[in-house]
Chain A
Amino acid sequence: MSGITISVNGKSFSVDVDAYTPLLWVFRDVLGLTGTKFGCGMGVCGSCTVIVDGQATRSCITPVSAVAGKEITTIEGLSPDGSHPLQKAWLEERVTQCGYCQPGQIMTAAALLGQNPKPSHQEILDAMSPVLCRCGTYQRILKAVERVAQENAS
């Protein structure tokens, strides 16, 4: 065990866990940030997606030691009050059903728009398709991301 310093949502934390501990469990079990979800544990469903230095990152397969010194953003840090354009678009398009995968969907979309504020339809599909939703909210997620992309374009 050694103290590892990570920066999450603009705050610095020293966590005393095994260096290989996936970031997901550091958020959930150590920092109490439960917005980031477990879905598969092998990086194939995307529910655990957070943003590390601007990149969409699967926190369930990312060792905490690999992100020391990097800027990490979770769903709780996307905006202070739910006012991020994607969060507003998610409400406008009535995207959510059970809601469990949605933090991973929103963080994936936020990483995409951070790198490419005006993505094409195909670019949105390419970025979002690896993130699974069992409730089948895809059509509405697509509309919500396109809504923000169009706002950015105008």
Chain B
Amino acid sequence: MPSEIEAPPIDVAEFFERLGFADESVLTEVIEQVLETSADRIAQMRSALSAGEASQLAFATHTLKGSAGFASAGRLRQLCETIESDVHLAGQRDLASHLQAIDLELGRIEHWLTVRVAGSSATEHV
């Protein structure tokens, strides 16, 4: 969990703009779904990476990227795109580190959601 102040993991304004209306419960629901489904995705990605199955890795990442896009999770989407597009370009070591970064970003999203739902005045709040 990063201790410094950084840009929030979810661009709430963009999310509501995409959705067409501002509804905190929808936001929470969607982000929770992202977090729920991502566990499976991360497991699939790890498995594909260790087996050297580039296409499977790309597919799993693609799915997570789709969720991240709709959820306005910019950083998460960016990390997924990096893996997806660089599967054949980057070395395995880079992919592993990107996967780790995705894991960390999901943790950051979870923390952000917790703080937001709890109405906390944590520094990450927009």
Partners in one complex: no
User: Which residues of B line the A interface, CB within 8 A?
Assistant: none
User: Which residues of A line the B interface, CB within 8 A?
Assistant: none
